[in-house]
Structure 1
């Protein structure tokens, strides 16, 4: 959906991300720049006080559906990190991945590539496909394993048992860690997390989806590093809706996390 800037700004007020304070001048430690978010939302959730505005570091995740992105504008308006869909299964590459990867890199936006897992193909084959298509770029964030149920898949609606899911996740992550030198992040959803007891997987940063409640409520007792809080966000530099995310800590903790986890 195409919107004029006036409408975007009006909707942005509805989200009211004022908890992060006013616009901060770009500050950098190495390649890390953090700006206060100037985002909107076409369908904002009525947060009850434990809302995304309490967090200082915001970012997006994108795939081909977001179209062309002006990375300088996005960064200036609060995109402090970005996740991009790179691969799916063992034979699909997102057609926007290369342009996003290069564009965000040139703008100095910390970036990570994610793989959408396919339950009808062995994990090691999918790991090799990801490695074939995602470069080892200097300064990149850890790769991401996206595991969720896909009831609408035209070719694979298989739902293996929880032990098998966790075993496949480990195979995939171990292969990527050997290649990239970074332990992958796991992205998942509320139902998938519960169905497969994903919290039993140790030594991993979780990126959790929860668009109608704080992760501490929706994933009780589970530590998390990234929270996807909206699927209907509006960001200057991006035409149409985009997913919005926060990092769990402060600006200083973000810079420290990037220093430790970026390659």
Structure 2
């Protein structure tokens, strides 16, 4: 499975070339929320990921208290002209009052039918305006508890599911050690009732600090190989622009690998 990350304003410093050199092939970048907020790091993140040659997805936080069409249009206007290949609707809000949420005492809960219809309308509005893949991000427990009506239409969309089979202890490690030591203990995420497959899996949560970003990173898998991902995103192999910014250590490592392959002596 292919590695990816997702980022927002909370990841203010990212070394995209270093991430790409360690096997990170795609990224989901927060773009907008409701019809009232554009992520302040969106453009900078997109520019960095694009320069590094990553496949870029943008995501929108669906606020079920805000008109769905207004949200869909707000997103499209905010991302106009950016080189993204995928769009995701982030469906994880059940509270009806942000002040209550900020205070940690939520009493106003949006009904499951409203949460479901809000996300569905956002996706359907996008579908009329774009042909790129539309993805739904959520958790099985959220859909089954707070947005049960969505079970009927979710199978029509690729799913990006959150499921974290780790404890909450923060770990700082290398990508090599991460890949060899911290593989998930399960084969895939839990799925909402009625759904049978996943396309992306956010499997770490706020646990790992890895080279390329000093903030906690959400790590994701794509359910397939790189060719499958390129086909899914409509990317022609070789069409992305790889970064030419390498550290001295990375240049030496590449030179040593080439020497070994050709039998050269350095």
Shared fold (TM-score, shorter chain, > 0.5): yes
Contact kept in structure 2, 1:148 and 1:189, CA below 8 Å: yes
Distance 1:222 1:216, change over 3 A: farther
Alpha-carbon distance between aligned partners in 1 of 2:123 and 2:71, rounded to the nearest angstrom:
11
Larger Rg: 2
What TM-score do the two structures reach when normalised by structure 2?
A: 0.70
1:240 aligned residue: 215
1:116 aligned residue: 61
Distance 1:150 1:236, change over 3 A: farther
Distance 1:155 1:105, change over 3 A: farther
1:205-253: CA deviation from partner (whole Å, max 9, x where unpaired)? 1000000274756227531100000122233211121100000112332
User: How many pairs does the alignment contain?
Assistant: 206
Is residue 163 of structure 1 aligned with residue 113 of structure 2?
yes
1:182-226: CA deviation from partner (whole Å, max 9, x where unpaired)? 242000023212122333214201000000274756227531100
Distance 1:199 1:250, change over 3 A: farther
List structure 1 segments (4+ residues) > 6 angstroms apart after TM superposition: none
2:182 aligned residue: none
Alpha-carbon distance between aligned partners in 2 of 1:222 and 1:161, rounded to the nearest angstrom:
25
What TM-score do the two structures reach when normalised by structure 1?
A: 0.70
SS of alignment partner, residue 119 of structure 2: helix
Of 115, 123, 127, which aligns to 1:173?
Answer: 123
1:149 aligned residue: 93
Segments of 5+ residues of structure 1 without an aligned counterpart are: 1-54
Of 201, 205, 227, which aligns to 2:158?
Answer: 205
Q: Greater shift after overlay, 173-182 or 217-226?
A: 217-226
2:253 aligned residue: none
Alpha-carbon distance between aligned partners in 1 of 2:87 and 2:144, rounded to the nearest angstrom:
23
Segments of 5+ residues of structure 2 without an aligned counterpart are: 166-184, 237-266
Distance 1:164 1:92, change over 3 A: same
1:61-82: CA deviation from partner (whole Å, max 9, x where unpaired)? 0011111211111110121100
